[in-house]
Structure formats: C-alpha cells, structure tokens
Structure 1
C-alpha cells in the first residue's frame, strides 16, 4: 500500500466553509450510487485509511433512505455518519483541475472524413501491479503484453500511430480529427454522435502502460504557449493551427488509452468512472486511487470558474471519489468532473486552482463516535 504523504487533522462540520449552504441532497444522490449488496466485496481501503467496509455500509444506508429527502435531511445524514478530516499534504500541494466528456461526431466506418480511430484493448494486454513489476519490465508500468516469452511492453503512442496494432480489429469508432482524438484520450471518455445514426458512449478500459507526459507543460517549457495563457482550449487551438508540429508534440506523450463501449447510461450522467458508477457532473471527483477509497465523500472549498467566460465564484461542495487519472497524484489532488459537451470542456480547461480546504469524510464508529 502506498504511503499517504499527508497528515489528517480532525475537524468539526462547523469548521467547513460553506458547509451550511452546500447542496448536500445532490451529494447524497451521488453517494447512493456506491451502494453494494451486503455480500458484494467492499471497495479497497486506500492508504489514507478510510475504511472500505464501513463506507460500503454507509452507502447502503443512504440507498435505503426514502425518496424526497431535502437538504436538511441530507445534512443530518452526513453529520450523523461521518467525521471530517482536513487533508494536509506534504507533497505535492493541494490542487484542483477539471475534466469532461467530449461530445463529437464519428462513424463506425473509416472514410475521408472520419479517419482517426479510437481503439479497444488488444487481447494480449494484461494489468500488472506497478509496485511489483516482473523482471524485464520498467517500474511503474500498469499494463503490458502477455507473450510466450513473458510480459513485454505494449507499443507506445508513436508505434500505434504508425500501425503497430493495425489489422487487429480493435477500432471502435472513427473520428474526424487527431487533436479531438487526443483529447478523448486525456479525458478518458466520450459521447460519439454516429454518422449512421444514434450515439456511442465510450469509457476508459486500459492504457499502454507507458508513462503519461503533459504536452501542455512541454508547450509552455518550449515557449509555444505562454504559461499565463495556458488552458486546455488554448492548447487545443494551438494544436489545430499547427498540425505538423501538433503530431510531433502529441507523440511525445507515449501513454495511449484504450476504450470500451458502454450502453444503458443515463444521458444526464457521464460514463462509468474507475469506481464503476456513472459520473455525476459537478459532484464526481477523480482522485489518487492509491490513497483514497472509492465512494469517499470529499468536501472541497475554492474559488473556481463555474462558467465559460465569467469570473471565479465561491465553490463549496461535497463531492464523491468516483474516478482517477494518470496525472491525479497526491492526497489533496482532485479533478472535478464538470459534465458533457463543449461548454463543459471550456470550463474544465479553465479550472486550475488551489482549494481553500480539501476534507475527507470518514465513516463514524457508532460505538465510539470516532472515525473508522
């Protein structure tokens, strides 16, 4: 288990800025999605120590609540069943970003218009424990190819772009633009409006295992985009305006993401996150899965841009640990799921802020009143 690299300091709910006004009824709806059958395996307890068994029991209790509860009832539920702890990270510092689910045109068949594929995982790709890599595989790899000679690295982004996985029938859908496809890789899901009619929902399935490199940081370091101007939309515009340089820059991120098709999803929600529940716009938080337990309520207070071009506004919200990502590393590192479509993408791209507080709620032990 990873070391937590953070201290936890017990608080009272009265210490949380904005707790009294937070939309806790929506937070309770998001928590209810983590309810599991009593005999189902509970979520694994992360290194911060929020108990997965106790958390699963609280989620089931939330799911058993009668319909029609209001904000006051939701607040009473959380205050009775949880103890708040401020997360005080030693390294890296607390930081928030945003992500979204792109909404793009695509086709089941390649054509002159639709020429960039999104791929399913190859059948020889296997998950491995990055903390205990097998001989011959570099530390940190979470996926590798299973061969008759043992585990070997999967082709990376440049090799896949050059056809390393071609002719294997992995193409799920074809998009118009390589930059759009790259951003689907970064976001980890997409809603594709098919030229043949209907739509396709895709979610993260696996990745090549090679390390993730932020091409936005590379663009700033090389003077391609000023640091103060850098947002996801700025980067996207630069890439589309410089297609040859864009291809070379995107290839420097060797990590490559594979997808799986999902069906039966609520159109108002995102795809299934890493915790296995649909993402709730504005209430799902991607976290470092080594440290946090799936389904943990996390209260975040910050001043954030909540629309496409307006000023920062106070944000005080109880979110749920529903997802993770390659760049989400640290005990107080959070990635807010903003929602679906282009407007959500603009807001997500503007969100790069230090929170005023980052507080985990640990299940309360009914016998002692302390946390479990």
Structure 2
C-alpha cells in the first residue's frame, strides 16, 4: 500500500502566502513597437540585399498573377507623365530605374513565365531591396484600407445631413502637392483650420459635394480617402481624395483603446462602427481629436484612385509614405492577411506582388504599409482585421 502524502497546516499557509505574493506582482507591460519611427536623417528607407540567401522565394506569388499586369500598366502610365519626375530620385532609386523595371517585369509576364521559372528569372534579372522597417531589421506593420459603399444624396434631406466637401479655392499647395495653408484676403498664407473649427464655423458652406446619413460614415470616408455612394435612384457615384487641410493624422481607434472603450485585441473598423452606433453622442468628441480634414472630388469613371491619380486594385495596390518610398514601383510583400472564405475573414500567410500607388494620413515612415482590400462591406471587414507584421521589398532591374 502506497504511503499517503500529507501537507501540514503550516505548509499550506506558506504555500498560500507565496501564491498571494506572486499574484500581486503585475506582469511587465509589453513595450509598444514604434512602427511610426521616423527615418533617421541621411538614411535611406530601402536597403539593397546583397546576400542571395536573404532574397525571398517568389514562387508562390508567381503562381497568382491575377490583376498584376493591370496594376503595372497603371504605374507605367503614371511614371510616363513628366510630373512624376519631380519625385525622383527617391533615395538611391532613379526615375529610369523605376519605369524600366516595371516594363521589364511586364515583358516577363507577357512571355508566359510563371511559377518556378518566373521566380528564377526575377532572381537573375532583378535586385531586391528591403524596407528597413521600424527597427532597421525590416519589421513593417501591415494594415488594410478599402472603399466603403454608403447611402447618400446629392442634396440635403432630413436623413442626409452630413456632407463631404470639395476642395476650397483658398487651399494652397506646394510644388510637390504638400499643403501650405490657407490664402487669406490680404494674400498672406496661414495654417488651414483644424477639423473642429471647419465644422463649427460652417466656413465650407456651398462647397458640399454629397451628403451622407451618418456622421461616422463621413469620417470613415475621410480616413479611407474614397467612398462609393448609393443614391435614391439606385445609381452609384464615386468620390475620391482631392486634398487635406495639412494637419497631422491622429488615430481615433487608438483613442478608443487608450480610454478603455474597446479592448486593444478587439479594435477594428467593425467594432468602431458598432460602438458609435450605440454612442452617437460621442462621435464628434472623438473624431475631432483628429484635426486632419479631407476634401473630395467626383470620380467620373467610378474607379477608386490612389494618390498617383491612378485606379487602385485589391491586393495589388499599397499605400506607403511617399516621402521615403519610390512611388509607382513594383513591390513584394510577405505577411499574414485576411481572405474571404465562406463569408468569413480567415487569416492566411500571404506573399504577393503589389504596386506602390497610394498614400495615407496614418502611413508614415518605413515601418508602415497599407494594403488596399477592395470595395464594399466584405472588403471593409477584411481591412478592419488587417494588423500584422511582415516584410516589404522593392524590385528593380540590375544595373550594368
């Protein structure tokens, strides 16, 4: 018979005391990764990979080339415009490197190369550059954006009371499109007012482009940079980004997390919309913390466009910081992205080619990248659930 093991009352007391003490110790707070860390002065956002073993395997991406050539054609169209030259060189990347690389890649696709053969051709003909990321080790945070579809009206009604505005004439831009401010009656240029002042002063009265039925929907359009509006007759009209008031972007999502309104592990566009449906009285208080205000223009062809004024393509267009990355260029991304599977958003390991065709108010520095997810509610759900680290690469023809 096995001997029974007993624990004395004293032993139990000691064990309980140790347990209580250990329970009182709070776990050290995990430091937040500084994805928005600015590029250090004099440093390039891209680093050329010189060790062949560090070049990613493109094979899986070479098996999924849908819509890629359409995206390449749009980047080539942009780079063929004389105005595109003003943004080059971008770091060590010249204008000719960018456009010649796109044309060469397009020719390889025309030849029918795919899978392992295309992977090999890329490795032989192209240099691969990696974003230094937020930590100089290549860490990039990938998020998602999309084009929402909302009900709207060309005229104000009892239901549709919240306008999107056209760009005002007094908004002054610099040669590179940067916002300089507001031209005053005496000719002087002063900073353009923030969101709260714009809304309270009604200074944009007469500049209404279209009206929406929910104040947070107008804010979503501001953040996403475009929207499709379903009118009462069933017609769909598209509005896109024209300019902003020059103020820095501040994340409403982060504000909600900071104040405990939505847990950090549940924050998404969907959870934000649900929250503000239940707390409409809080919409203005939160959105006004983001002083940036966006102006819109009608897109006659109905195609959502990026900052290059070229149409964007789901999973083939990305938004980056155009102050540090070469616009229009061919990229390769590796991360985890949600895909629509049976009506559900399912996270999957992802690698694919994309074109750097857009920018975003929240997308600053080498450690951030926004992936365009498409149009409508499903795309919105995917965009709202995209928040993963990964790697961002750029491909350029080898230089003789």
2:148 equivalent to 1:102 = yes
2:348 equivalent to 1:318 = no
Q: Which consecutive unaligned segments of at least 5 residues does structure 1 have?
A: 132-140
The verdict on how the C-alpha distance between 1:70 and 1:362 changes in structure 2, with shifts beyond 3 A counting, is: closer
Structure 2: how far apart are the matches of 1:83 and 1:244? 53
Q: Which consecutive unaligned segments of at least 5 residues does structure 2 have?
A: 1-38
- Is the Cα contact below 8 Å between 1:3 and 1:47 reproduced in 2? no
Matches within 5 A, 1:1-372: 3-4=42-43, 6=45, 8-10=47-49, 15-22=54-61, 23-24=64-65, 26-36=67-77, 40-43=82-85, 44-45=87-88, 47-60=90-103, 69=112, 71=114, 78-79=122-123, 81-91=125-135, 93-128=139-174, 142-147=179-184, 148-167=186-205, 169-265=206-302, 270-307=303-340, 309-355=344-390, 357-365=391-399, 368=400
Structure 2: how far apart are the matches of 1:314 and 1:41? 37
Structure 2: how far apart are the matches of 1:226 and 1:38? 47
Q: Which moved more, 1:283-292 or 1:233-242?
A: 233-242
Structure 2: how far apart are the matches of 1:104 and 1:68? 42
Equivalent position of 1:135 in the other structure = none
Higher helix share: 2
SS of 1:246 mapped into structure 2: helix
Equivalent position of 1:136 in the other structure = none
Structure 2: how far apart are the matches of 1:361 and 1:262? 31
Give CA-to-partner distance per residue, 1:246-295, whole Å, 9 cap, x none.
22111111110000111124xxxx51211221001111000110111112
- Is the Cα contact below 8 Å between 1:12 and 1:84 reproduced in 2? no
Post-superposition shift, 1:68? 8.0
SS of 2:223 mapped into structure 1: helix
Post-superposition shift, 1:297? 1.4
The verdict on how the C-alpha distance between 1:189 and 1:143 changes in structure 2, with shifts beyond 3 A counting, is: farther
- Is the Cα contact below 8 Å between 1:120 and 1:171 reproduced in 2? yes
TM-score when scaled to structure 2? Answer: 0.79
Post-superposition shift, 1:244? 0.9
SS of 1:361 mapped into structure 2: strand
Higher Cα Rg: structure 1 or 2?
Answer: 2
Aligned length: 351
RMSD: 2.9
SS of 2:132 mapped into structure 1: strand
